Amino acid sequence: IFREITDRKQAEQRIHSLAYYDTLTGLPNRQRFQQQLVGAIDSAREGGRKVAALYVDLDNFKRINDTLGHSFGDAVLKTIAKRLERCTRFDDAVSRADPDFGEPQLARLGGDEFVSILQNLRSEEQAVAVAERIRSELMRPVRHQGHEFVVTTSIGVSIYPDDGEDIDSLLKNAD
């Protein structure tokens, strides 16, 4: 009985992981991100606060896959995901020390698109500061298998409730 329950729990955890997390980067996927953003919007609505969605798109990423192969592109995406995590972690040296500023949440929407949720914003400048940190971090060259290149990004920012009051409008406006 113990073995059967253990196997079942492990299978449930595996299914949950496959359903809500990106298998390449380990970041939350689109499905999990939508749940997180709904929660952030609900919390902001109740507390009269703002939430930002930062939409990060890697420019011309298809060329990396086309010229160097998909496994090379996957390695680059993992590197970019780790850099984005460093930019949005609370304990990172460049993160703010404001305890009211909620832990940023990062997700991979698919392909070369990432998004971060910033909660409890007091001003739009806070979101701009995080976007600038991301831009600066991603401007550093990526080195992999003897290649060195810079991955340029486009970062869009939308603020709840100013730029939209639901997931679709916030993402569309950030994109």
What's the rounded Cα separation, in Å, for the pair 110 and 148? 24
Q: How large is the average pLDDT for residues 151-159?
A: 94
Q: What's the pTM?
A: 0.82
Tokens describing residue 141 = 């060259």
Average of per-residue pLDDT values in the chain: 86
Would you state the pLDDT for residue 89?
A: 57
What's the rounded Cα separation, in Å, for the pair 166 and 50? 13
Would you state the pLDDT for residue 147?
A: 86
Q: How large is the average pLDDT for residues 46-59?
A: 94
Running DSSP on this structure, what letter comes out for residue 69? Answer: -
- Region of poorest pLDDT, from 85-89, 142-146, 147-151: 85-89
3-state secondary structure of 146: coil
Would you state the pLDDT for residue 104?
A: 58
What's the rounded Cα separation, in Å, for the pair 98 and 125? 14
Q: How confident is the model at residue 14 (pLDDT cuts 50, 70, 90)?
A: confident
List helix spans (H) across 21-166.
30-47, 61-68, 70-88, 124-139
More confident residue, 97 or 58: 58
Q: Is 163 a catalytic residue?
A: no
Q: CA distances (Å), 79 to each of 16, 27, 48, 52, in order?
A: 24, 12, 36, 24
Would you state the pLDDT for residue 70?
A: 92
Would you state the pLDDT for residue 73?
A: 93
For the cut 70, the answer to whether the pLDDT of residue 20 exceeds it is yes
Would you state the pLDDT for residue 118?
A: 92
Q: How confident is the model at residue 19 (pLDDT cuts 50, 70, 90)?
A: confident
The separation between the first and the last C-alpha atoms of the chain, rounded to the nearest angstrom, is 50
More confident residue, 165 or 16: 165
What's the rounded Cα separation, in Å, for the pair 45 and 53? 15
Would you state the pLDDT for residue 105?
A: 86
Catalytic annotation, pick one of 112, 162, 163, 168: 112
Would you state the pLDDT for residue 114?
A: 96
